[in-house]
Each structure stands twice: as C-alpha cells, then as structure tokens.
Amino acid sequence: MSAGDKLFGRLLNRHPPPSPVLPEPLRTHGFGLQLQLDAQGNVVHLTGPLRHLLAQQIPGAQAPHLLDFVLPHSSLSLEGAPADWQGQQLDLDFYSLNGTPLHLRGWVQPLADAWLLQLLDIGDLLLERRQARNREQCQLLAMQMAEQLRLCSLMRLPDVLAEQLQSLAQRFQIPCVALALLDEQEQGWQIHQHYAAFDAPQLWHNGQRLGTGLDSLSGSVPQHLSLREHPRLQATFGNADGFAVPYHDAQGVVAWLLCGFYPVQQRPPDISERDWLQVVAALAGPLLERLREHRHHLQLERLESLQALLGTGWWEVFSDSAEVQLAPSLASALNLVSARLPLSDWLDQVHPADREELRSRLQALQDESQALLLCVRLHRPDDALAPVWYRLQGQALGVGKNRRLVGFMLDISDIKNHEQQAEVAHARLDNLIARSPAVIYVQRYVEGALQPTFFSDSLLPLLGWTLADCSGAALVERVHPDDRNGYFERTRQLLREGSVSARYRLRDSRGDYHWLLDEARLLRDDLGLPVEAVGLWLDITEATLATEQVKQSEERYRILVEDSPAMICRYRPDLTLTFGNKPLASYLECPPEQLPGVNLGSWMSAEQRDAFTRRLNQLSPEFPVSTAEINLQLPGREHAWWVWSDRGVFDQQGRLLEIQAVGRDNTEVRRSQQQLTQSAKMATLGEMATGLAHEINQPLNVMRMAIVNVLKRLEKGDAQIDYLTDKLTRIDTQVQRAARVVDHMRVFGRRSEIEQHPFNPAQAIEGTLSLLAEGMRGKGVDLRVSEPGFEVQVRGHVDQLEQVLINLMVNARDALLGKRETDPAFKPWISLYVERDEQSVRLWVEDNGGGIDPRLLERIFEPFFTTKPVGVGTGLGLSVSYGIVENMGGRLSVRNSVEGARFCIELPIVQVD
C-alpha cells in the first residue's frame, strides 16, 4: 500500500493514527497544504498548492500564529502547543481569498526541532455529507407530503394540498408556489392550487388557465424560467423569474410545480434536480391518483344511474366457465341476487317460447361471431301480468384467447305492448341515440307543408338514406302504397293537434319495407304559428312481426300443453292442483275444469305421500328440478306408476310458491319389469330344484331310518319309552326342517309386494343360506359367511335382494364346479360378508374361481348375455339383479380379485323412526 493510500485511509478513520516517526521531506510532497510550525505554533513556512488560496500569508518580518489563519471556531482544536496536538486528527476551517471557508483535515508530526502540519482539502467530503443529509430531509418531506395527501378525505384534499404547498414554500423561502395540472378537455394547463407569502404579489389564483405555454419547456429536468429565454411564459410568471419542476407518468408530463419570484441564485445550492423531482412527485402523484379515482367513481355512478333510468345494461358471456356477468343495474331490474350467474340461470329468466332461440343465437355468436339481435320475453310466473320484453344485442370482440362476447339488454315492453308514451321514447332516444335503432328528425314548416331539414346519423344504418334522399316528394314515394293515406292523415293531425303517433311502412335503400313508429310534436312561435316539427322514427318491424309470432306461439303452446300426450299440471306445496291438462284429467277420470282444488296426494298411500313431500321440500332456487317414479291407486285400476318431473317456482326470498310438473305413465314398463323379475325368480327356483330335492330328501332319509329302527325294536319286543321318545323327537325335528325349506320356497316364489319397505339385509342373507347352504356343502363348496356385527335398514323387497344373492352364489357355484372338473385337486370356496359406512351398506360375494374375462366385464350385466352353454343359462340373472339393486337406489358392480370374481351390492341406509 502506498503512503498516499495509507494517509487517505487515516483521514477516513480506517487505520490507526500514523507513526510519530518523521517521514522524509520527499514523502510529503503533493499534500494540499503543509505548514512548518515552531514550538509555540507560529507558522514558519507554507508549502503545497492550497497555500495560494489562503487569505493570510507569511510576512517577511514576523511569523504569525496558526490561529491567525483559521476561523474562530477552529481555535478550540488548537489549544496549547504543537506538541499537544500530536496524534490527534485536526479538522480546521481556514480563511480563503474568495470568502468561502477552506475545510482541511490533517495532523502534526515532529520535524527536527520544529513541527510539520500536513493538511488535505475535505471540502468535497463535507459537501457530499451535507447534500446527503439534505437529500434525506427531502425524502422524508416527500414521504410526509405523499402520506398526508393519500390518507386525507376527498373533501379535505384541497386544504391538505394547500398546507403542503405552504410548508414547501416556507422551507425553501419561495414567495409564490403553485401546482399546475394538465386539463385533458381543454388540452392546456390550469392552476390547481397555489400559495403566496403574506408580503408576496399574487402571481396566480386557483382555477387559472395557463394555456399551452408550459408545453415549450423540456419535461426532463427542472427549468429556470426567464422571459428572454421563454417569451411565451409571460402570461404564466408575469415579469418575474421563476423555477418550474415537471412531473411525468405514463401519459408524459402531467403536472408542473411553479416557483415564482425564485431566481436561480436564490435556490438552495444543496438541493439537487433529483430532489426537486422527488418533491413534485410526492405532491402530484397522490393528487392525480385521488383525482382520477374520483373521476372514475363519478363516471361509474353516472353510468349506473343512466342504466337504471333507462332500464338497460350491459352483459358479457364467459364461454370457458359457461357464466354471464350482468351490469348491477340490470341484475337489479331482473330481481337477481348476484350479477354473475350461470348461463343456464340467465336463460331460465327468458320465457320458454323464446329461450331456445336465444340459446341458438348465443351459440352462433360464440361459434361464428354472428351478431346477436333478438327480442325476448321474461318468464313471469303470474300470467295475469303484462309480459316484460327485452331487446338483446351482442357481438364478439377480439380474437383467440382475448375474444369476448358482449352486448346490452334494452327494456322495450311498452313498445311491444303498443302503449309506449312519447315522453319515455324521447328520453331514451336522447340518451341512447348513438346505439338506439331510432332516428330523430326535424321538419321545417314552409308554406303549409313540412319539409325535412335534419336526420340523425342513425338514418343511414337503419334505412340506408341521407337527407338528400328524403327531400321534396322523395319521402312520400318511399311510403308503402297502402300506408300513404295514413301518412297524409298523420301530417294533418300533427298540424291540427300539435302531436301525433302513427305507424306506417317505409322502403329502405335495398327495397325492403320497415314498420316505423312515428312520434312527432309541433313547435310554435310566440304568435302560435307553426315553426317546425321534431319527432323520431323507431323501427318496430321486429315488434310487429313478433306480434304475429306471439299469436302463433300461443297456438303452439295450447297444442303443446292441452293436446300433449304427457300429463302437465301445476300444484301448490300441499299437493293441491291449480291446473291440469286433458291427459291428467283422463287418468283421474274427471273433467279438466274440476282439477283445480283436487289434492294429488289423495291417490297415494301415506308412505308414498310422505316420500313425495320430502322430495318437494328438497327443491331450492339453485336446484329447482327433481324427477322420481311415484305409485298411485287410480280409480278403476289396481296400481299405476308415473315417471314424474317437478320444477319449483320460488319467490325472492327463496320460498316455494308452486310446482310445475310433467309426467308420463310408466305402468306397463313397471309391470313388465315385475314380470321379468318374477320369471327370473322362478327360473332360479328351477335351477335350484336339484339342491332343494337334496334338502328335502335328507330329512326323509333320517326319518325313514328312525322308523326302521323303531319297527325292529317293536318286533323284538324291546322298545323302551325313552328310546321311542328320542326317535319320535328326531323325526319331528326333520319334519320341521323340511317344512321350513318348503315354506321358504313358497314365500320366495310369491310375487313381491307393490311398495318397498325397510328391512334388515341380514334377513335376505339368512333366507339365501337356508336354500343353498346344504346343497353347496354337498357339492364340496366351502361357504365362508361372516355374520354382520351391526343392524341397518335398507328400503326395498327382502325376497328380491334374496334373489340377487342366490343368482350371484349360484353363478359362483357353477363356475367353481366347472373349474374343479378340469382340476380335481381344486378346493372351491365362496365368501359372503357385509360392511357399512355412514351412508351405505355393502354385501360382498367373492369366490376363487379365477375371475371373469376382462373383456366381458363391461357386458356382464346386459340382458340375455351369458357365458354358459346353450340351453343352460337364460342370460337374465345378472341383468335382473342389476335392475333390482338399481330400483332400490343402490348399485351392483363387479371386479376381479386375486383369486376370482368379487361382486358388490351397495345399498343406501335408511333411517327408521
């Protein structure tokens, strides 16, 4: 390390004090200032480049003391003699020729019999430190001003800004200070807020327009303003010098901090341009942010108010999530709880006669970007109310991922119902003229006739005309021949009564006719003479054609409801009918006009009625539809099954008001299913005949042997009473065993009951084992049955669940016996066990027969599908079993385990009070 580096390090306090050893004179060469002192501190000799800047020089006669060279406050560091200063760091301020103190730092070293004071210029270091301190103060000031402007209320924002300008002016002694903002409407600058000292002239006032003079300044750095350099700024600063600081954002320069009567020599020398930019950013940034936020809020309020007044609003469909976003005012008009809802719920607000067309138009808009223009009715539960009509327009914006489907809805109920008043039409046209399908016109009264002098811009897109195309007799020639008399009468009525409302057809530039609603009012002068007529044309072609379509829709609705083969009705939550069509009346054997007031539950059993009511209580506005099969006892019929679909109608609070239902007769299908189940049950009994014969023959053999033994004893005369009693008891036990088998066969072969009832699935397991257990064991099949350690209830028919278990176990037995024929050492087994959770119980039937071909697993439950040889299996067992489990609300499934097939019967648990 060089001596200069070590010396600079000592000045920065990075190394310990230098050694007191006196350096060579050559090594001191290049220091800013060296003073040779005697023992009393008098300056004997000066060297170094800084000696020419000192105000005091050494005279030839007598050496001055060191204190004569330094400012008075530095004398504290120079008390005593040079020997006392050794080893100390000395910071001294010297008098200079230019009047600015010369800041030096150094130390004293002995030199022979004298002392050498070596000093370096540290003015730059002190200046940087002072500038850093001022920069920190400016940053703190900027943060405080920004925080005050961000946290204050909008009402106090002008006062807080004025306070900050006053604080800034007093800190930097600025006579006049103002903040100018860019006026976006006038494309010029305007004084937003200003402050002037008590004794300073008024350069500006709040709201003063400055024009575009500030645009000539560079927007990158603060500018010192002089009228000689910027003559256009005389209107801004008058005849005074000034200082302007710009503020940039994404739009460019949007604000200026103006400092009046503030010449360049008056500005604080330690405040950099960066500090000024930071100060104006702290003032203008939060202010513009608050002002823009306020303007945006006012625009939203105006837009919401405008949409609410007009009964209109925007909508946007999100294709990826099948949702629609509505304007808050539109959602409120439609009585919707949320402004964002599923697309299907929005479509449910539309009348069924218009719903499918709207769905199709939306699909065309999404797939082909075909513009949407459609008039629809809202779905109103009360038919007595007048229909509410809306006009929908929409278009696709953007491409690819940025593609959006947007549009608006406009309430045109009064137009559709032919009852719109002229004042309402004028109000809507005044606000929606650019987007409305209406034309505003002015006709000048000239010599008893009305001549067109003005049409709004919507004339060209509507009819393809210009004002020149409607001058003179050209307008009359474009009126439909059948409507010309009415058009002339319209003009006479307007001149006579002062207002008119008429309908007629006009031909457009393509030759097509449009139905127009003409609303006009005559304006008169002070003498009552006609001056001009102001009116509008509203295209009601769609409304007029829609009137005819409504009549056709009503006829289609009558055909659909009244003449439909399906049963259609409405009823209250207590099942009292309010409407029913002819098919329903035919089933109930009463005229249609007598259906209102009849209770639908009177044809149901108590259990069926309770289940029906529970299902209705589960309807909600989110899930308004429910479908189920109901069982009724109709007049003149044993039983009937209907597939019944309900849709709930709710009020604004979500309470169920009414149910709309559609049903079809499913009796024949249900009876066919029962017959199929019974046939499969009898087929199962047929397949079990051999095993059941064994079940009966075995008790008969036991009884026969007991009787033979008794007869032999009687022949020998050796028949004791105890012996005879034991044999008779054994015979009675076997008789009861055979009777149980026969009784269970009779019960199993009987038809199932009509209605399902709760039962314990363990009963079906017990019945299955009573019919199959002995036969299985007799054929060498090991039955592994685990008794359930719990009791549950499921809903259905116990004999049908028993039929399912028998089918599964017989199929497993046949597969196991077939495998043993090819492998005599094979030991077959069938496992039957039960498990449950909170919602369901599962019955497992598993075997070790090797499983089912994976290619057949998907088809195994199909009707008439069997893997057995021709003539052996019917192919109905598993299909019927699948239907039985499904009818109980459960599920029958199969999969292969490690050793064989594994069937699962999963049934829902029911709670029985």
Say if residue 871's pLDDT is above 60: no
Verdict on whether the full-model pTM lies above 0.75? no
Q: Are residues 817 and 701 in the same domain?
A: yes
Residue 305 belongs to some domain of the structure: no
Residue 706 belongs to some domain of the structure: yes
Confidence tier at 26 by pLDDT (50, 70, 90) = very low
Residue 131 belongs to some domain of the structure: no
The pLDDT of residue 7? 31
Residue 128 belongs to some domain of the structure: no
Average pLDDT over residues 13-36: 49
Q: Are residues 117 and 201 in the same domain?
A: no
Average pLDDT over residues 441-470: 85
Which of 430-434, 438-442, 481-485 ranks highest by mean pLDDT? 481-485
Domain boundary among the residues 376, 411, 446 is at 411
Q: pLDDT: is 1 or 615 the higher one?
A: 615
The answer to which of 399-413, 461-475, 539-553, 739-753 has the lowest mean pLDDT is 739-753
The pLDDT of residue 169? 85
Residue 533 Cα distances to 445, 449, 567, 740, angstroms = 7, 11, 58, 104
Confidence tier at 669 by pLDDT (50, 70, 90) = low
Say if residue 312's pLDDT is above 50: yes
Average pLDDT over residues 802-831: 86
Residue 842 Cα distances to 807, 905, 907, angstroms = 17, 5, 6
Confidence tier at 264 by pLDDT (50, 70, 90) = low
Cβ contacts of residue 207 below 8 Å, gap of 6+?
190, 191
Q: How many domains are contained in the chain?
A: 6
Q: pLDDT: is 806 or 694 the higher one?
A: 806
The pLDDT of residue 2? 38
Average pLDDT, the chain: 78
The pLDDT of residue 403? 79
Q: Are residues 401 and 430 in the same domain?
A: no
The whole-angstrom separation of Cα 892 and Cα 339 is 44
Domain boundary among the residues 90, 121, 152 is at 121
Q: pLDDT: is 8 or 318 the higher one?
A: 318
Residue 129 belongs to some domain of the structure: no
Q: Are residues 604 and 734 in the same domain?
A: no
Residue 186 belongs to a domain with what CATH number? 3.30.450.40
The pLDDT of residue 738? 60
pLDDT above 90 covers a percentage of the chain that reads: 4
Say if residue 11's pLDDT is above 50: no
Q: Are residues 766 and 868 in the same domain?
A: yes
* Look-up of token digits 């010098």: 241
Helices assigned H by DSSP within 173-272: 234-237
Average pLDDT over residues 185-199: 82
405 contacts 316 by C-beta, under 8 angstroms: yes
Closest by CA to 149, choosing from 109, 192, 207, 182, is 192
Q: Are residues 427 and 407 in the same domain?
A: no
Q: Are residues 623 and 690 in the same domain?
A: no
Q: Is the dihedral of CA 841, 845, 851, 857 positive or negative?
A: negative
Q: Are residues 632 and 499 in the same domain?
A: no
Q: Are residues 792 and 904 in the same domain?
A: yes
Residue 451 belongs to a domain with what CATH number? 3.30.450.20
Q: Are residues 315 and 368 in the same domain?
A: yes
Say if residue 8's pLDDT is above 50: no
Q: Are residues 616 and 693 in the same domain?
A: no
Residue 504 belongs to some domain of the structure: yes
Confidence tier at 27 by pLDDT (50, 70, 90) = very low
Q: pLDDT: is 484 or 135 the higher one?
A: 484
Q: Are residues 488 and 444 in the same domain?
A: yes
Q: At what angle do helices 273-310 and 157-172 cross, to 10 degrees?
A: 170
Residue 831 belongs to a domain with what CATH number? 3.30.565.10
Confidence tier at 635 by pLDDT (50, 70, 90) = low
Domain hosting 96: range is 3-121
Domain boundary among the residues 622, 638, 665 is at 665
Give the DSSP per-residue string, 166-199: HHHHHHHT-SEEEEEEEETTTTEEEEEEEEE-TT
897 contacts 851 by C-beta, under 8 angstroms: yes
Residue 382 belongs to some domain of the structure: yes
Average pLDDT over residues 885-913: 86
φ, ψ (nearest 5 deg) of residue 795: -105, 130
Confidence tier at 31 by pLDDT (50, 70, 90) = low
The pLDDT of residue 913? 60
The pLDDT of residue 864? 57
The answer to which of 105-109, 120-124, 647-651 has the lowest mean pLDDT is 120-124
How is residue 499 written in tokens? 């207002």
Residue 133 belongs to some domain of the structure: no
The whole-angstrom separation of Cα 34 and Cα 51 is 8
